Structure 1
Amino acid sequence: MRAVGFDVNGGPEVLRAVELPVPEPGPGQVLIRVAYAGVNYGEVQHRLGDFGPPDGTDVPGLEVSGEIVALGPGVTGLALGDLVAAYLPDGGGYAEYAVAPADFAFPLDGISPRDGGGAALVLTTAYGVLAGAARLVPGDSVLIHAAAGGVGSAAAQIARALGAASVHGTVGGSGKADYAKRFGYDAVHTRDTFAERLRDIDIVLDPIGGPTRLASLDVLAPFGRLAVYGEAGRHPDLTLPVLPLWKNNRSLTGYNIGDLARRAPACLRSHALAALSLLASGAIRLDITTELPLDRAAEAHQALQSGTSRGKTLLAVRP
């Protein structure tokens, strides 16, 4: 089968077309003929070596859509020919075929394969960080960093659907502000000015880290929650004293979909199904801004790593 992978860490240029055997599904797994593969920052980190060196040829790709073409032993509730969106905790999505845990293969009821290709990771994370980690309740105010990205644009809509009273966003440069505003933000600020303009925010979502994360603590309301779900800035980890959290009634929480896949798969599945239900109903939409063929995956990585991408990028494998 055709795939795109890398055998050494480095820049986007290390991604190359490869021919690999079609994988076989093991117990509790399904084999998917991939229609679309989503491109995510976690795959950039994978290529750069943040998760360690490759083991032979690594094929990135954490979410796909497509048709189930084989069932592993013990799989129930799914059938050959089902169209699904799938989260791939072990990667492998940049390929014509991918293996997914059956628990993380979600039926595309009322959702197109194109939308499904960018949904399983992005929408699950956006919903999970709001409802699970940050415990959003109706009336909360929300601030979302990286407001123009795939998760940010979805999180703004999901926050509204869950009853947020106000939703603010930040972007790295003013050029992305107009794009982000289309997703229901009350206001979009540049990342270097939000701390001067905002106070008493109930929830802050942060995938950036570093100075942005530190400044976010200072804008929290009493019992406010800073929910961390990424490290896109690739800053050194913060060393935070605990006493200021106590003295200022602040909380720090996190959402890591890979950890949930290992330790709480039922929770991950519930977040995914809730988010996909919102997508199917039309309450939220996935803004796919870029669609490239599989062999141009390096271009998608370059845009994501440089911070020039907006919305969601897909690789069309078998559209």
Structure 2
Amino acid sequence: MQHRLGDFGQPEGETVTGLEVSGQIVGLGEPGGGGVSGLAVGDAVVAYLSDGGGYAEYAVAPASLVFPLGGLGLRTGGAAALVLTTAYGVLAGAARIAPGDTVLIHAAAGGVGSAAAQLARALGAGAVYGTVSTPEKAEYARRFGYEAVFVREGFVDAVREATGGRGVDIVLDPVGGPTRLASFDVLAPFGRVAVYGEAARHPDLHLPVLALWKNNRTLTGYNIGDLARRDPALLRTHAPRSLSLAASGAVRIDITDEYLLENAAEAHRVLQAGANRGKAVLKVS
């Protein structure tokens, strides 16, 4: 959706949206399959498409970002490449989660948020809290193992009370704006705000560095597209680990909506209205 809205700049020429897919391999590399190893025609795989192209019956993916399903079904796999890899990367890579850490996840009912709550548990988090925009989303999000889920307005006081005034070690923020700014107020000493999106589309913040230094706070970020371009080998460590946790049952991707490919515009309308919960997928008929 953010690509369509132009949040990442204007595309060069015609582009096809869609950053994650699952399916069967129908061709490899150059004619004859040169340059690709470890994959075969007919394999069931999941792929991250750093340059888009997923809203299609056939997609072209770099071999370095194609992964075996490993026991996941195609439907679940189609919802996994971006969501699970981002959730794992922001926790393990950007936030450097450690056993016993307490975690606060904004947009707790979304695709990444619901996966991140479960991944945080699997990675040893001591407690996991969430925030959402409505009470209805709070009720939905609680099924993913949160200690408590708060409506985002007024979350600072709620988190402080829940943690006995200590705050949390990690905040995952895909929202931005006032939510991001207020997140620093709930950090424990050496706490980290890990940014991985700008869903609310607020203007960028101008943060005073002195406040970070004087209060032992850290701001960090995770962008899967940048990682795919500059260090695909590191990205290849994040994706299989998160996919294996899903295949083992430790993490469940909750697919709440399924649209035919030709109805993708309707899926975007739901996302843009903020009415989504869990993960939506597009099905090629």
Report the TM-score, using the length of structure 2 for normalisation.
0.95
Corresponding position: 1:296 with 2:263: yes
Cα deviation for residue 107 of structure 1 reads 0.1
1:212 maps to a residue whose letter is T
2:228 maps to a residue whose letter is A
Q: Secondary structure at the match of 1:182?
A: helix
Corresponding position: 1:178 with 2:135: no
What residue is the counterpart of 1:261 in the other structure? 228
Cα deviation for residue 53 of structure 1 reads 2.8
Unmatched segments (≥5 aa) in structure 1: 1-43
Corresponding position: 1:60 with 2:17: yes
Cα deviation for residue 56 of structure 1 reads 3.8
Q: Percent identity?
A: 72
**Distance in 1 between residues matched to 2:265 and 2:226, nearest whole Å:** 27
What residue is the counterpart of 1:74 in the other structure? 35
Q: Secondary structure at the match of 2:109?
A: coil
1:51 maps to a residue whose letter is F
**Distance in 2 between residues matched to 1:106 and 1:211, nearest whole Å:** 37
**Distance in 2 between residues matched to 1:164 and 1:217, nearest whole Å:** 19
Cα deviation for residue 129 of structure 1 reads 0.3
Post-superposition Cα deviations, 1:266-300, rounded to whole Å, max 9, x if no partner, equal 11111100000100111111100000100000010
Residue among 32, 39, 48 paired with 1:87 = 48
What residue is the counterpart of 2:59 in the other structure? 98
1:46 maps to a residue whose letter is H
**Distance in 1 between residues matched to 2:102 and 2:11, nearest whole Å:** 41
What residue is the counterpart of 2:120 in the other structure? 159
1:186 maps to a residue whose letter is E
The 10-residue stretch of structure 1 (112-121 or 55-64) with the greater mean CA deviation from structure 2: 55-64
Number of aligned positions between the proteins? 275
Post-superposition Cα deviations, 1:234-269, rounded to whole Å, max 9, x if no partner, equal 000000011111110000000000010011101111
Report the TM-score, using the length of structure 1 for normalisation.
0.85
Alignment of 1:1-319 (within 5 A): 44-72=1-29, 73-199=34-160, 200-318=167-285
Cα deviation for residue 54 of structure 1 reads 3.7
Cα deviation for residue 45 of structure 1 reads 1.1
Q: Secondary structure at the match of 2:270?
A: helix
**Distance in 2 between residues matched to 1:53 and 1:253, nearest whole Å:** 26
**Distance in 1 between residues matched to 2:71 and 2:186, nearest whole Å:** 40
Question: Over aligned residue pairs, what C-alpha RMSD do you find?
Answer: 0.8
**Distance in 1 between residues matched to 2:72 and 2:215, nearest whole Å:** 44
Q: Secondary structure at the match of 2:140?
A: helix
**Distance in 2 between residues matched to 1:54 and 1:162, nearest whole Å:** 37
**Distance in 2 between residues matched to 1:143 and 1:169, nearest whole Å:** 5
The 10-residue stretch of structure 1 (131-140 or 44-53) with the greater mean CA deviation from structure 2: 44-53
1:285 maps to a residue whose letter is R
**Greater share of strand:** 1
